[in-house]
Each structure stands twice: as structure tokens, then as C-alpha cells.
Amino acid sequence: MSLSNVSAIVNDLSSPPDQPESSDDPPPPAPTNSQLALDLTPSNHFQVIHGKHKHSVAYLSLSKDKQITGHEVMTHQDAHYYAPFAGDSQSNTYISQAGFTGNRRTVSSVAVLPSLFIDLDHYKLPELQHLTPAELVNHIIAKEPWLPVPTYVADSGRGAYLLWLFPKPLDKSSLPRWQTTINCLVDLLKEYGADPQAKDAARVLRLAWSIHTGTGNQVQYNQLGTEVKFNELEQLIRSTHEISFPRATVTPQQERKQLTGQVSRSNVRSLFNTHTLHWGRMQDITKLAELRAPLNDYRHRMLYHFAVSAAWFCPSVDSLRSEVTSLAEAYFVNPQRYTNHSRFKSITERMILGKGGGKVSWGHRKVDYRYRVRTPTIMDALDITTTEQRHMGILIDAKEKYRRKVEKRRTAGVLERHKYIAKVHQETAGKKQLALDLREAGKTNRQISEELSITSRTVRRLVNG
């Protein structure tokens, strides 16, 4: 079933296939942890991945020569209705692993992340190519006992997918942590055929019951384990990565912790600082484009700095082009004039080198090839105003940062300095009067200090001052 007929199919449907006629009836429940699901149907596969959110979902279909024959981002309801048709016996169909805002399948449009996944091309490894997906999981768990059992394992037609589903989908603010976690997981499972290109949030994986046209095999999903909390999975993966891939330069204290197997939470958290920074910049530049739309100025500069940050999340040049094109088409006047991707040649070249493990000298250490631009440089290039900074998260100056700090303190109940001093004076005057009254009543300094919960020295200062 080609995606070119999606709209017609969806419009003709008043309710999901094999369901009651009322469109208000809830979708079929996903398999529970109490009974493992074997060979998911396309409908159940959709429900397992996307049943806990209501955002848009993408489908993609390929021909035998790997040409895209259909690609559409649908509303959640339409995508659910279409699942049984997308998984028919003639299709080579993929489904997105994330939910999206709007009608584009880009990293910057990601709204929710229901799972962490890995694509294992173990068929390329002579020592593993004879294993079934389930046998491969047993082999990996035996050698990597720290790794939780995947919630689902799939025979992708030639390789295997492993999926760890979360009890609650992550929202887009967690994407930097998710991205660094999957990067670490790919590094750790590289010897088992982990695909380094399959680690972007906008990734699509084959739908259950679709056909791998290269081998003619049907895709099958089976449940192995239960859902896993992201925080626990993140800690396990990043702690293990910190030990397996130590930093080039470590302090003696860090070296002792590595030798004893102790990795502090702060060290693990520092692994996702780069992704947090660049995700925030992508969000800020998108917001700036929205505030200034329709854009007639600063378009080249805006696309350049957006591409620099997007390069940290995109697995390929095509993916990066899609991100840049999406921004231009959404907010620019004459967007086609500003999507000449030769302008970003240096960014794509460095992205490829960085993802290949290449390093460049920076100061006294080796760092990733991808560009690092200072926040003030971006702000100067885009002339971000004080008013616009109120809408930014990362692209702000020292004055805006201080204003937010003060606002946060006021919200927490911290008084302005002059009000605080006046309050202290008022409280002191009140305590002084109480101390004098108690002295007149014949109390000693010790008794007064105990009654007012102050020191004897303070009592003397109050009654004698």
C-alpha cells in the first residue's frame, strides 16, 4: 500500500479497521507487562510506540531500489487509522519513533520521545550473523550484564531493532539528554553492529509486518521485557560509557573513581552539556525567526548558526538539509533563495569528520571537529534585542541573565535589599522592646536569651544599646 493513497484512505475511514463503528471508541490497548506480546500487528505496533501521546506521526515507504515512494506526517488519529494498511504484505514501510509538532519530520519538530532504540546490523559481522534477534539479545546481555533487557526486539528483515519503552514519553525538553544517551549506547554496542547513522530523534524504523525488499523477509516485533524509566536507563548507559570511554584528560580524583568503579552523577551529567547548549540554540533561533517573521533580513546568518547547532543532532547531510529547509520554508520570504546548501559546505564537512571520530586541537585538548561558536558572537551576528531576549533560553546577555535571577528570587519570596533592611530593623526593634520588658520583670540575661532564642551577648546589646 503506497503512502500516495494515504489521504484518500484516511478520509474514507470513519473508524479504525476491525473496531466498533463509533469513532469515539478508544483504540485497542497495548500489550501489558503481565503478558508478553508476540509478533505485534501493525495496529498494535503503532499503539505500543505512540499510544501514550497525541502528536503527529510520520510514515515513509521505499521502493526496491530504495527510492522514497511516499512520505507523510499525519495527525495522530489518521496515523492510527492508516497503520493496518501501511503494514500490508506488499509494503516496505517505516514509522517514526517520535511524535512531532506540525507536519515535518525534523529534529527541531520533535514533540515527544516514547522510547530509546538501537539498530543492530549484526549481519555484517561473521561471528554474529547466524544469530536470530532473540539470540543476539541473549548474547549481548551475557556480555553486557549492566544493560536492561529491551522491552521489544524486532527482526528488521536482515538486522535487529532493540527498543526500551518509557512508562511516560519524554517531552522535547529532554531531547539533549536523550540524544547523548543514544550516542553513548551506540558507542557501547558498536561491536555488536550498532548503526551510527540510526541515532537521531527523527529516525524511522520498519513497521511490523512490512517487508524488507532486499531480503523478502517480513518484519516482526516481539516483547522481551518491561518498560524502563528513562532516568534509570540514562544513568546506567552514561555511567558505563564514562568507564569504557574515559576522557583524554582526567584529574587524579577522577582516575581513582574510575579504578574503583565509582562515577559521580555530576560527571555523568556533564556528558550532555554540548547537546543541551545546541538544542537550546536551535529552539532560540527558531523562536527568533517566529518573532521576526516574515523574515527579510539576517536570513543567511540565521540559517548558518541554526545549521551549526543542528549538526550535533543530525546523522547525515540530508537530515541537516531537511532541518535548514524546514526553518526557511516556515519563516522566510522567498525561502527557496536561502536553501542553497553549498553555503553550508564547511558545516557539513566538519559534521562528517566529527561523527567519524575526528578531532581537532583546541587549546590543550582534542575536541570534536564540529564548529563551536560563542553565544555573544551569535547574538551580535543576529542583533538580538533586549525585548527578544525575554523569549530566549540560551541566547541572552549578562543583563538578561541577572534580571531573570532577580525575578526568580522575588518569586521565591526574597525581598529587595532596602525592604530586607527595613524588615530587619523592625524585627530588631521588636526584640529590643521585649528584652527591656523582660528585664523590668526581673529576668536575668540568660533567662531572656532562652525565652527569645537569642544569645546572651545579643541580649546585652539590646538592653544596653
- Give per-residue pLDDT as tens, 15-66: 444 443 333 444 444 444 445 667 899 999 999 999 999 999 999 988 777 7
Cell of 205: 524504523
**Residue 118: pLDDT above 80?**
yes
3-state secondary structure of 106: coil
Quick one: pLDDT at residue 423? 82
d(CA 264, CA 239): 8
Among 52, 196, 223, smallest CA distance to 118 is for 196
Among 439, 437, 432, smallest CA distance to 454 is for 432
In the predicted model, what is the mean pLDDT of residues 108-132? 95
Quick one: pLDDT at residue 432? 85
Quick one: pLDDT at residue 316? 87
Confidence of residue 422 (pLDDT cuts 50, 70, 90): confident
Among 121, 133, 112, 110, smallest CA distance to 49 is for 112
Top-confidence residue, 87 or 314:
314
* CATH class of this structure's domain 3-176+185-229: alpha beta
In the predicted model, what is the mean pLDDT of residues 263-284? 70
**Residue 87: pLDDT above 70?**
no
Quick one: pLDDT at residue 256? 55
In the predicted model, what is the mean pLDDT of residues 176-194? 95
Contacts of 191 (CB under 8 A, 6+ apart): none
In the predicted model, what is the mean pLDDT of residues 311-330? 90
Q: Are 176 and 279 in contact (CB under 8 A)?
A: yes
**Residue 73: pLDDT above 80?**
yes
Top-confidence residue, 188 or 431:
188
DSSP 150: P
Determine the angle formed by the axes of helices 445-452 and 417-440, rounding to 10 degrees.
140
DSSP 24: T
In the predicted model, what is the mean pLDDT of residues 108-119? 96
What pLDDT digit, counting tens, does each position of 121-165 carry?
999 999 999 999 999 999 999 999 999 999 999 999 899 999 999
Q: b/e map of 28-60 (b: 16 or more CB within 10 Å)?
A: eebbeeeeebeebbbbbbbbbbbbbbebbbbbb
The bridge status of strand 99-100 relative to strand 93-96 is unpaired
Least confident of 7-16, 79-88, 297-306, 435-444: 7-16
3-state secondary structure of 83: helix
Q: What are phi and psi of 153, to 5 degrees?
A: -125, 140
The bridge status of strand 93-96 relative to strand 204-206 is antiparallel
| pLDDT, the chain, mean | 85
What pLDDT digit, counting tens, does each position of 375-405 carry?
999 999 999 999 999 999 999 999 999 999 9
Top-confidence residue, 442 or 20:
442
In the predicted model, what is the mean pLDDT of residues 355-367? 80
In the predicted model, what is the mean pLDDT of residues 174-188? 94
Q: What are phi and psi of 261, to 5 degrees?
A: 80, 15
Quick one: pLDDT at residue 10? 47
Top-confidence residue, 21 or 308:
308
Quick one: pLDDT at residue 259? 55
In the predicted model, what is the mean pLDDT of residues 81-99? 84
Q: What is the pTM of this model?
A: 0.76
Confidence of residue 421 (pLDDT cuts 50, 70, 90): confident
Q: Is the dihedral of CA 329, 333, 337, 342 positive or negative?
A: negative
**Residue 419: pLDDT above 90?**
no
Please state, for a pLDDT cut of 70, what percent of the chain lies above it: 85
Provide the edge-to-edge strand list for the sheet that holds 99-100. 99-100, 110-120, 160-171, 152-155, 220-223
**Residue 117: pLDDT above 90?**
yes
Q: Is the dihedral of CA 203, 205, 207, 213 positive or negative?
A: positive
Quick one: pLDDT at residue 352? 87
Top-confidence residue, 341 or 300:
300
